[in-house]
Structure 1
Amino acid sequence: MTREPTVLAVDFGAWTPDDWSAAATVATAVLTLFTVAIAVAAALYARQQVTLARQLREDQAQPFVVVDFADNPVWNKAIDFVVENMGQTLAKNVKIKVDPPFQTTMDDSGHALGSSPLLTQAIPSLPPGKRIIALFDVSHDRHAAGLPMKYTATVEFEDAHGKPQEPLTYILDLSIRYSLLSITEYRTHDAAKALREISKTLKETRSDLKGEFYRRRQVESADGSIVPE
């Protein structure tokens, strides 16, 4: 037995004014709900954008303290340890912890970086763009001494209002410096060294000339020759 499909039909011609009024009320209610839903979604989206924009402004306005190794601008074989605030606002109470503690070939010189106030005490304030540079070591001496090549540095600091910021962790790896090709750039240190060597050579040459002149005078004096004054 085949069941005939049921067809729902609406006879709008039979609707009374009350039916039409009720339908209009329902349609208005549905449209109002749809409009409210769109307005709520738009409000939530706008709020999210405002929150993201505010967070972005706050992030951009925060201090951002970076620590790293860098080439010495005077002597290309020397390595500097650099602390810099790359953010846009003041960093306060900056503390740097290094694991393992720094060891260098210059520790015996009386200026051990690992025990310096830079690492044992907090930096009271670090303005935007401020850099603190300390000579760390000499690359070839360090390599020959077999000292550690990798350190983990953790930086803790506060913003200008004294609010603690999320600690930043950096992996400082010196080993990559010994596996890279580079072009030798002669700098101020090399020029000064060359000038000292030239000065030394000139002094030695002058001394040799004086010695030769004195020897000739002695020979000429012994031969009875006229010795020029």
Structure 2
Amino acid sequence: MSNWIAACAAFVSLVALYFSYAQFMLNRRIQREASQPYVVPDIQPRAGGSGILVFTLENVGPTVARNVKIAVDPPLQGGEGNDWDEKLRVALGRELSHLPPGRRLEWYFTFGPRFYQLSGDLPRQYTVKVRAIGPSGPVEEMSYLIDLDLMQETALERETVVAKLGEIAKQISKRR
């Protein structure tokens, strides 16, 4: 009977050891991922209501991202002319030596209302892959899908805050 109890105790100890090890490895992974940089690409309005769309790259993680490399498929086409598209491709083709936490870079992509009026010849979805090195070594390659069709009905064509303030200033000056 005591051998059976000892065997059960040994089994319970081994199961507890397994779960303790699994918990330790999970905590270690969570800690490592929490200390990694996260470089997020996007295409979004430059400012509320401006209509200008910019390609952004931002490090939302807590540490510096080093040797940041971007791959975009298909190549970005904003419809503004090959020279603008080429400038953006050249800029994104370079390796960024570092991108500090909270740093946000922007490149002109297109004027949104005109982009959506153009024929369907331009791609509306882009897959962007980001590779970088963090403090613990290479960060897992991240892949993002940017779908410009989701933005089509947003407030891209509304007037800017600056334009509205200009109208208010004109109205005030007329009253004087």
**What SS is found at the alignment partner of 2:27?**
helix
Q: Greater RCO between the two (CA within 8 Å, min separation 6)?
A: 2
* Structure 2: tracts of 5 or more residues without a match: none
RMSD (CA atoms): 2.9
Is 2:55 aligned against 1:81? yes
**What SS is found at the alignment partner of 2:76?**
coil
The two structures have a TM-score, normalised by structure 2, of 0.81
- Number of residue pairs matched by the alignment: 169
Q: Is the 8 A contact 2:49 2:158 kept in 1?
A: no
> How far does the alpha carbon of each residue in 1:42-85 deviate from its partner, in whole angstroms, 9 at most, with x for none?
11111111111111111111111110112221653111211011
State how 1:54-73 maps to structure 2 within 5 Å.
54-73=28-47
Aligned to 2:15: 41
**What SS is found at the alignment partner of 1:81?**
strand
Q: Is the 8 A contact 1:113 1:136 kept in 2?
A: no
Q: CA deviation at 1:132?
A: 0.8
The residue type paired with residue 127 of structure 2 is T
* Structure 1: tracts of 5 or more residues without a match: 1-26, 203-229
**Matched residues, percent identical?**
25
**Aligned partners of 2:144 and 2:90: how far apart in 1?**
20
Larger relative helix fraction: 1
Aligned to 1:129: 102
> How far does the alpha carbon of each residue in 1:11-44 deviate from its partner, in whole angstroms, 9 at most, with x for none?
xxxxxxxxxxxxxxxx222211111111111111
The residue type paired with residue 93 of structure 2 is T
**Aligned partners of 2:114 and 2:160: how far apart in 1?**
19
Aligned to 1:143: 116
Q: Which has the larger radius of gyration?
A: 1
Q: CA deviation at 1:186?
A: 3.7
Larger relative strand fraction: 2
